[in-house]
Amino acid sequence: MTVQPNTLRNLDTLRWAAAESTSKTQYAKRPGNRGLRSCGLLALFLLFTFCSVLVRQANGQAAGSTASQAPRPWNQNANGMHVYIWAGLKSHFAGQHDYPQFLADWSKILTEHGAVVDGALHAPRGAVLEHTDVVIIYKGDAGYMTDDEKAALEAFVKRGGGLVSLHDSLCGPDPAYFASLVGGAKKHGEINYTLGAPIPYTVVDATNPIMKSMSNFTLFDEAFYNMTWAHDPGMHVLATAVMPGTPSAGTHKGEVVPQIWTYEHTVSGGEPARAFVWMQGHEYANFDNYQIQQMLLRGIAWAAKKPVDTLIDYVPPPPEHVQAPVKGQP
């Protein structure tokens, strides 16, 4: 039980009153002090009455603290899909791999589109994942997980939780393992990247609702090749890119490699799970690209097993709080 400050102050008063009453009662027992004895008894009666009031007040506070809940953030859709953003510390040069900025920006974007968002610069814990529909991963080398982090993520996927992997999140020490979660992955330490270059998209499944706003266009970013793919089942390709002739691409120049895909699978004894992957995001500015943003919102909803346009079509209710006009302005 937590006793509030006002109650604590009252208890201090109670202790002082008890000491005073005891002292007066003992003095009243002396011959010739019957009047004081009556005063002492009256003081004790009032003291016990005051004590019972304090006990009721403290019990009421304890009951209230158990039943009360934190207020909901302004204009949040309480019935929205639950999204956890797993970000990381920034790396690379200015404007690149800005994982913390993604956490800040997309927590607001997704909330504005009707989602209930949580997130951090560390992997989600099991207790958080119990109430999560989809985890968005945007951090370098997310394949490096502790045993506890693996167990939590595997349990989440087994119960049908969705994953969204962006850029080099699918990089790690064991690409076959991470590919079993998201459909494809690459090994850390190998040269399997183009670095910054024009990446020409070719949409290969224009009928997929996730790609409704996507066209064949070129994005200056980074592409990956020499991938490890999941098999039985395999992933479903949404868009590919021709590897540009950069020094790091070397002999892989001209290869056609999937860059956007979906993946559906079922862990043994579990529920069907989904993953959506976009392998770009090297240049943070590309998250502001309209086509990319629309695709991501649809891919997130799809991975969460919601109607694909849930986030796109969300219309917020009238605001609960109206800002007062600034003095001197109409």
- In tens, the pLDDT along 126-161 reads 899 999 999 999 999 999 999 999 999 999 999 999
Neighbours of 173 (CB within 10 A): 13
Per-residue confidence (pLDDT) for residue 61, from 0 to 100:
52
Q: What is the mean pLDDT of residues 42-53?
A: 54
* E strands, the chain, in order: 82-87, 116-120, 134-138, 162-166, 171-172, 184-187, 197-203, 218-221, 228-229, 236-242, 256-266, 272-278
| DSSP state, residue 173 | S
Give the mean model confidence (pLDDT) for residues 68-84. 81
Q: How far apart are CA 294 and CA 290, in angstroms?
A: 6
pLDDT at residue 197 above 80? yes
Of these ranges, 20-24, 73-77, 192-196, 321-325, the one predicted with the greatest mean pLDDT is 192-196
Average pLDDT over residues 103-108: 97
pLDDT attached to residue 36: 45
| Alpha-carbon separation of residue 69 from 125, 142, 143 (angstroms) | 22, 34, 36
Could you tell me the strand order of the sheet in which 162-166 lies?
A: 116-120, 82-87, 134-138, 162-166, 272-278, 256-266, 236-242, 197-203, 218-221
Tell me the mean pLDDT in the region 54-60: 52
What letters, b where the CB count within 10 A reaches 16 and e where it falls short, cover 283-310?
bbebbebebbbbbbbbbbbbbbbbebbb
Cβ atoms of residues 267 and 158 within 8 Å: yes
Q: With 50 as the cut, is the pLDDT of residue 11 above it?
A: no
Q: What are phi and psi of 29, to 5 degrees?
A: -70, -15
Percentage of residues in the chain having pLDDT higher than 70 = 77
Confidence at 52, pLDDT banded by 50, 70, 90: low
Highest mean pLDDT among 27-31, 51-55, 182-186: 182-186
Cβ neighbours of 135 (radius 10 Å): 27
307 Cα distance to chain centroid: 20
User: Residue 247, Cβ neighbours under 10 Å: how many?
Assistant: 8
List Cα–Cα distances, 255 to 46, 184, 225, in angstroms: 90, 17, 8
Long-range Cβ contacts of 67-75 (<8 Å, 24+ apart): 73/111, 74/319, 74/320, 74/321, 75/316, 75/317, 75/319, 75/320, 75/321
Taking alpha carbons only, the member of 151, 159, 115, 155 closest to residue 136 is: 115
**Rounded distance between C-alpha atoms, residue 285 and residue 93, angstroms:** 13
CA 122 – CA 137 distance, rounded (Å): 10
Q: What is the pLDDT of residue 27?
A: 45
Query: How much is the pTM?
Result: 0.78
At 319, the pLDDT band (50, 70, 90 cuts) reads confident
Buried b (16+ CB within 10 A) or exposed e, 31-43: eeeeeeeeebeeb
186 forms beta bridges with 171
CA–CA separation, 166 and 299 (whole Å): 11
The residue with greater pLDDT, 282 or 34, is 282
End-to-end CA distance of the chain: 51
Three-state SS letters, 65-106: HHHCCCCCCCCCCCCCCEEEEEECCCCCCCCECCHHHHHHHH
